[in-house]
Amino acid sequence: MFIIKSEDQRQKTLKRIENVKAQIQRVQRERGLDVAKELEASTQEHIRELEEQVREYDCLRKEGVGSFRPRNISEVGQYLIKARIAARVTQAELAKQLNVSQPMVYKYELVEYQGASLEVLLKAAKALRVSLDIEAVALQPKKWEGRRKVGGVPNSTA
């Protein structure tokens, strides 16, 4: 689900909800109750999603983020975005802490920090005053026995 990342996005989302509801009322006046009900039914899920996004943003701003232990490294980015929102830190303010430009933080958040280095993730967490507990575990150890190394790289054809 999309995450509202700023007060400006929150206001635009509220305006979008208001516009859709106003359109349904206009259709009811101009084309009748049946057509308005069809339009309302077709937009109901979209409105619900937008309202949920606003609720989540408001909750983060009010209550902050809880503790976090990722099951997967791909979950870290969304947590950092939520931590920034909860801390009421703008992308520009975080950029200064990370020694990068605001557009760079925008890009990190756009892809939920996928591809960012571990150093960037840890710096962002420190700047936002959250802790990242990331564990590295070898899922299947590599076996190098019986292989000759060529230039430090295993060579199984030797």
- Residue 49 CB partners (closer than 8 Å, separation 6+): 1, 2
Q: What is the pTM of this model?
A: 0.77
- Judged against a pLDDT cut of 70, whether residue 146 lies above it is answered with no
- Judged against a pLDDT cut of 80, whether residue 138 lies above it is answered with no
Question: Quick one: pLDDT at residue 141?
Answer: 64
| CA–CA separation, 16 and 11 (whole Å) | 9
- Judged against a pLDDT cut of 70, whether residue 134 lies above it is answered with yes
**pLDDT band of 158, cuts 50, 70, 90:** very low
The pair of three-digit structure tokens given for residue 30, joined into one six-digit string: 């101009």
Question: Quick one: pLDDT at residue 69?
Answer: 82
Task: Please tell me whether residue 155 adopts helix, strand or coil conformation.
Answer: strand
Task: Give residue-wise pLDDT tens across range 50-73.
Answer: 999 999 999 999 999 988 888 888
Question: Quick one: pLDDT at residue 142?
Answer: 64
Tokens 């200064």 correspond to 96
Domain residue extents for the chain: 7-63, 73-127
| CA–CA separation, 115 and 149 (whole Å) | 30
Class of domain 73-127: mainly alpha
DSSP-assigned states of every residue in 4-51:
--SHHHHHHHHHHHHHHHHHHHHHHHHH-HHHHHHHHHHHHHHHHHHH
